[in-house]
Amino acid sequence: MKGLLLLLSSISVIFISILISQSTYLPGIPLLHQTSTFFVASISSLFKSININTDQDQQSMSNAIKNTMSKTLHHAKITPHRSGARGHADHGWLNTYHSFSFASWYNPKFNSFGSLRVLNEDRVKANSGFPTHPHRDFEIFSYIISGELTHRDSMLTKGAEGDAGSDKFYRMHRGDVQFTTGGTGIAHSEFNEHNKDTVHFLQIWAIPWKRGLKPRYHTRNFSDDEKRKGFVNILSPLKGGVDATAEQEKVAEPTIPESIPIHADFVMGAGIIAPQTSFEWKVGAKATEAAKRKVYVHLPMTKGGKAKVRLDGRDDAILEEGDGAFVESVNAGDKLVVESVGEAEAEVVVLDTA
């Protein structure tokens, strides 16, 4: 429209110029030739200008269409939670970041997200850790990124590990996830018993669908090779749900095979995404109850700032290491595209909750 108005306006100016030129034509050159030459040159210049403007308009329109088409979740609200907005404490032996209110750090904007209550990114130095402490009525899981972390039940003394099953004692390494149902109450320690290496891990708490559950431990390893193929399901709801029978609780079968069962309408996934490639998270993972979902995406600090991801093709949803994002107003079955846009591969954790 702007180009058309410019065309009409400029043609009027050209005709006026032609009239003026009739009184100042050059001797020896026919007037018609002078005016037609001037007219053609002016029109040529005009269209060149219009083409430039049109090209710019087309480029702007193309960019707008591209940005719109790259989004698959038009109805979703995505809000980054920047690393700098997290709580932080360095106790010497423990360097910890809190995505949600925890310990002495409180922020009313970040109390919980669905049944997700705690997400701490911790580094614990060698020969130190969390001494025996109690838990109850929370689902608690540790995701090991690097180093070594030893889990020991309070009923097991150091040195008696040979007589214990892995539910009471487990020395965790990269890829391991150790899961605890606090239920009516348990006590355990988590210690880095390595003599020199720091352990880096995520500690995550979820609110169970009911209180007073029987305490239980689960530990499982999830390989990097599988995580590089796509998102791997780490946790899924216990089969039987909130009304699970005693037998179902004993068997502890997860909704998704080869994952760890959790007492919540909750799924956890993890993937390692190479630069310039994308993974797709299917909301609910075909395993949850509620159709209306929320997803929290976290990018751990693993590559010295070289890893970045973009969510749903949105330039305002690019996450750097330590960042997270609240993805709201999504439904079971929706597809969330996570694209690695940094220099290094990105290890991404997805927490899908009702």
What was the pLDDT predicted at 72? Answer: 82
pLDDT digits (tens, 9 = 90+) for 266-305: 999 999 999 999 999 999 999 999 999 999 999 999 999 9
**Given 24, 54, 70, which residue is the final one in a domain?**
70
Same-domain pairing of 108 and 40: no
The CATH number of residue 247's host domain is 2.60.120.10
Alpha-carbon distance of 143 to 286, in angstroms, equals 23
Same-domain pairing of 312 and 236: yes
What was the pLDDT predicted at 168? Answer: 60
Same-domain pairing of 58 and 206: no
**Given 32, 47, 70, which residue is the final one in a domain?**
70
Higher pLDDT, 217 or 162: 217
pLDDT at 342 over 50: yes
What was the pLDDT predicted at 170? Answer: 82
pLDDT digits (tens, 9 = 90+) for 164-210: 445 566 899 999 999 999 999 999 899 999 999 999 999 999 999 99
Give residue 235's identity as a one-letter amino acid code.
L
Same-domain pairing of 131 and 181: yes
Same-domain pairing of 64 and 81: no
Same-domain pairing of 58 and 154: no
Same-domain pairing of 158 and 58: no
pLDDT digits (tens, 9 = 90+) for 97-152: 999 999 999 999 999 999 999 999 999 999 999 999 999 999 999 999 999 999 88
**Domain count across the chain:** 2
Same-domain pairing of 208 and 105: yes
* Integer angstrom CA distances of residue 79 from 73, 161, 259, 314: 13, 45, 28, 11
pLDDT digits (tens, 9 = 90+) for 223-245: 999 999 999 999 999 999 999 99
What was the pLDDT predicted at 26? Answer: 39
Same-domain pairing of 134 and 33: no
Query: Contact, 140 vs 104, CB < 8 A?
Result: no
Q: How confident is the model at residue 155 (pLDDT cuts 50, 70, 90)?
A: low
Q: 48: helix, coil or strand? A: helix
* Integer angstrom CA distances of residue 93 from 69, 148, 160, 300, 346: 48, 15, 26, 20, 27
**Given 70, 91, 107, which residue is the final one in a domain?**
70
Same-domain pairing of 151 and 202: yes
Query: Contact, 36 vs 279, CB < 8 A?
Result: no
Alpha-carbon distance of 36 to 33, in angstroms, equals 5
What was the pLDDT predicted at 67? Answer: 47
Residues of the domain holding 22: 2-70
Q: Which residues contact 288 (CB under 8 A, 6 or more apart)?
A: 237, 255, 265, 266, 267, 332, 352, 354
Same-domain pairing of 65 and 85: no
What was the pLDDT predicted at 15? Answer: 40
pLDDT digits (tens, 9 = 90+) for 5-45: 444 444 444 443 433 344 333 344 343 344 444 444 444 45
Same-domain pairing of 153 and 54: no
DSSP designation for 333: T
pLDDT at 158 over 60: no
Q: Write a three-state SS string for 282-330.
A: ECCCCCCCCCEEEEEEECCCCCCCCCEEEECCCHHHEEECCCEEEEEEE
